Amino acid sequence: MIEKLLERGGDLVESADVCVIGSGAGGAVAAAELAARGRSVVLLEQGHHWTRADFTQREDEMLPRLFEEAGMRQTTDGAYTILQGRNLGGSTVHNLCYAFRAPEPILRLWREEHGLSELTAEALSPSFLRVEKNLRVKQILESELNASNRIIRTGAQRLGYSGFVARHNREGCIGAGYCILGCSYDAKQSMLITYVPRASAAGARIYANARAERIEAEGGRVRRVLGRVVDHDGRPHGSVEVKAKVVVLAAGAVASPDLLLRSGMANGSGQVGKNLHLHPSVLLAGFMEEPIEAYRGIPQSYYIDEFINLEKDPHRGYILMPISGFPVLTAANLPGFGRAHFAHMAKFSRMVGLLALLHDRSAGSVESGRSLTKPRIAYRMEESDRLELSQSLVHIAKVLFAGGARSVLAPYWQDPVELRPGDDLSVLERRGVREGEIGLASTHPQSTCRMGADPRTSVVNAWGESHEVAGLFLADMSVFPTSLGAPPQLTTAALADRTAFHILGRWPEFAA
């Protein structure tokens, strides 16, 4: 059962074995596996239940529908734009479908530096296999590479850079290219069309427009979740109360710590909301001689891993990824005003974007703001991260030129740099990447309720359970002990699957 509380009206009073908060990559998986194995489950999702009929392929309509703060969520200093989902299915509804397992060197780091000896590739394999099967993960075919991914592959190959065509979770994709605005063809295997319906079919009661605002415990055990029925802007329309023996918090790496802080729980270590990693990204635009319409076809399929060697150094590196935008997002990321801005936009159909995504060591924080819709997110790059991301600009430009770009634009807000083939690229490294000077974004906020064996330095244990409150589990990207250094949706889903099976195994204890 999936119910839109705004349409139904009134308050929600429920009780269940398990209350899951959030329906993204983590929450939907936990809800489905628990419900499929006999637990009564209530899932609360603050966002609307949009379906493919609502995915109009228009930025002006879809950005407000699918993204927190209409895609304009930022760090408090305005330097980083943070993209997160706010709808049934969470960020998986607008994401770009790269499907990677957690890199083994990162799991080793988590074992060696965070005491998570249980997290071996072997132990996680059943969860990854289940998730990959349910999300229909498969290799992207050669015939499915669009123009911009081909150009970037050509550039990387000419330079001898390591790269490959990735695996994705799509089925029957017609290459429309609108993934980031929601797939109108139900080809993207997001949680909305995979695990959410599975959970519903298994008996989970799924409520859209239900925002959790407080988790309560009694005698060291979770007892209930309180919240509001909210509209898309977060305005309250009714109350929500769910009594539960277990709470699985999966509201994402910004909302989950905010909720814990507001609930005043599970923070004896002082680590809730700390250790925020962003996988910060910066992009350059290349302009080809002829129109290539990079916005058509699968947006991201090639993946350049030349500058990340986690086996050698699991703490650093960056990945280069193709990116294409639609007019509004592109215009917002291009510098200049009036004629200067128009001159860039006039070349829109010839544009090919390439971004660097940093495996960051810098650590920011999330604190509660004036409301749950306005958290305070702080992040500043350490110097070593800044230098690394600055170096990436040169490599991005090299790939774009080697792929045939006639010019490359570094979109600094003031004095953008436009380069031609043969120009000295070291200017890019010298200008570098500084907050407020060039657009910086994060699509992967993580690590704000990190896992670890030591309750003094972490929030949850290797199974996602709070060190302090019995029956409180976290099952979203907030649990990563460090930056993952790879696209995170599968790892989030696999860890949530593992957490669900752990809860099932210990059920007699929670039921008592």
Ligand X SMILES: Cc1cc2nc3c(=O)[nH]c(=O)nc-3n(C[C@H](O)[C@H](O)[C@H](O)COP(=O)(O)OP(=O)(O)OC[C@H]3O[C@@H](n4cnc5c(N)ncnc54)[C@H](O)[C@@H]3O)c2cc1C
- Chain residues that interact with ligand X, rule: CB under 6 A: 21-27, 44-47, 83-87, 90-92, 94-98, 180, 211-212, 250-253, 255, 259, 372, 443-444, 476-477, 487-490, 492
CA distance 143 to 156: 19
Instruction: Show the tokens assigned to 36.
Output: 């499929």
Which 168-197 positions form the footprint of ligand SF4 (CB under 6 A)? 170, 173-179, 183, 185, 187-188
Q: How far is the CB of 89 from ligand SF4 (least distance, A)?
A: 13
Over the range 319-353, which residues count as b (16 or more CB within 10 Å of their CB) and which as e? bbbbbbbbeebbeebbbbeeeeeeebeebbebbbb
Which lies closer to ligand X via its Cβ, residue 281 or residue 407?
281
Largest Cα–Cα separation, the chain: 72
Which lies closer to ligand X via its Cβ, residue 84 or residue 324?
84
What residues have CB less than 8 Å from 206, skipping those under 6 apart? 1, 2, 3, 23, 31, 43, 45, 88, 196, 199, 200
Which lies closer to ligand X via its Cβ, residue 448 or residue 461?
448
Sign of CA dihedral 308, 310, 315, 321: positive
Q: CA dist 437 to 78, 223, 416, 432, Å?
A: 11, 47, 10, 9
Q: How far is the CB of 181 from ligand SF4 (least distance, A)?
A: 8
- 89: contact with ligand SF4 by CB under 6 A: no
Q: How far is the CB of 169 from ligand SF4 (least distance, A)?
A: 9
Question: How many residues touch ligand SF4 (CB under 6 A)?
Answer: 13
CA distance 16 to 224: 10
Among ligand SF4, ligand X, none, the one that 275 touches (CB under a kind-dependent 5 to 8 A) is: none
Which lies closer to ligand X via its Cβ, residue 335 or residue 487?
487
What residues have CB less than 8 Å from 183, skipping those under 6 apart? 52, 55, 176, 190
CA distance 357 to 366: 21
Among ligand X, ligand SF4, none, the one that 183 touches (CB under a kind-dependent 5 to 8 A) is: ligand SF4
Nearest residue to ligand X on Cβ basis: 24
Which lies closer to ligand X via its Cβ, residue 91 or residue 333?
91
Among ligand SF4, ligand X, none, the one that 372 touches (CB under a kind-dependent 5 to 8 A) is: ligand X
Among ligand SF4, ligand X, none, the one that 255 touches (CB under a kind-dependent 5 to 8 A) is: ligand X
- 192 phi and psi, to 5 degrees? -55, -35
Among ligand SF4, ligand X, none, the one that 185 touches (CB under a kind-dependent 5 to 8 A) is: ligand SF4
- 66: contact with ligand SF4 by CB under 6 A: no
Q: Residue 402: name the closest of 258, 306, 267 by CA.
A: 306
Q: How far is the CB of 352 from ligand SF4 (least distance, A)?
A: 17
Among ligand X, ligand SF4, none, the one that 240 touches (CB under a kind-dependent 5 to 8 A) is: none
- Whether the CB-CB separation of 80 and 280 falls below 8 Å is answered with yes
Q: How far is the CB of 186 from ligand SF4 (least distance, A)?
A: 8
Which lies closer to ligand X via its Cβ, residue 252 or residue 471?
252
Q: How far is the CB of 418 from ligand X (least distance, A)?
A: 27
Q: Residue 459: name the closest of 275, 269, 278, 276 by CA.
A: 269
CA distance 254 to 252: 6
- Whether the CB-CB separation of 211 and 46 falls below 8 Å is answered with yes
Here's the x/- map for ligand SF4, 443-472, by CB under 6 A: it reads as ------------------------------
CA distance 172 to 170: 7
% helix, strand, coil for the chain, step of 5:
35, 25, 40
Which lies closer to ligand X via its Cβ, residue 21 or residue 151?
21
Q: How far is the CB of 55 from ligand SF4 (least distance, A)?
A: 8
Which lies closer to ligand X via its Cβ, residue 188 or residue 350?
188
Which 113-172 positions form the footprint of ligand SF4 (CB under 6 A)? 170
Q: Please state, as a whole number, how many other Cβ atoms lie within 10 Å of the Cβ of residue 233.
A: 8
- 296: contact with ligand SF4 by CB under 6 A: no
User: In the complex, which residues of this chain contact ligand SF4 (CB under 6 A)?
Assistant: 170, 173-179, 183, 185, 187-188, 298
